[in-house]
Amino acid sequence: MDSAVQPPSIVSRVLGLMADHVDLLQLEVQYEAQEAKRRFLFLVVCGVCVFFAVVMAQCWLIYGLHRAGVSLHWILGSLMAVWSGAGVYVYRRWALRESRAGEPFEGSRNEFKRSIQWIQGHFS
């Protein structure tokens, strides 16, 4: 008897499809974990910059009240502005989610919708 190669059953095809979903989800979870670590690091950097801005603001106020020297005000005010600007720059440059990455788990959601449509097409 010649045994012909049978096409995979619908159950094995659905199980294969679900395995693909699990693999894609695993990749996206790894990416999101790395993204969260990166954002946390830069949020800490931004926090340090804001801390220095607050310290400079306090020094500016103390010196301003202690001595009525205008030039000292301008120096400390400038330092405060520099630290604040550095914090804003770091946040905007590195802490925001990359726009090319799309929404979190967007690939899994889209693939799952296509799979549901495919399954419905085979069972309806």
Q: Which whole-number Å values give the CA distances from 89 to 6, 79, 82, 94, 95, in the listed order?
A: 61, 15, 10, 8, 10
Which pLDDT score, from 0 to 100, does residue 48 have? 94
Q: What type of residue is 54?
A: V
Which pLDDT score, from 0 to 100, does residue 49 have? 92
> Can you tell me the distance from the alpha carbon of 4 to that of 46, in angstroms, rounded to the nearest whole number?
66
Element (H, E) at 9: none
pLDDT tens-digit readout, 43-86: 999 999 998 898 888 777 677 767 667 566 676 777 788 889 99
**Predicted structure pTM score:** 0.42
Q: Enumerate the domain spans of the chain.
A: 25-96
| Burial of 6 (C-beta count, 10 Å sphere; 0-12/13-18/19+) | exposed
pLDDT over 90, % of the chain: 14
Which pLDDT score, from 0 to 100, does residue 45 have? 93
Average pLDDT, the chain: 80
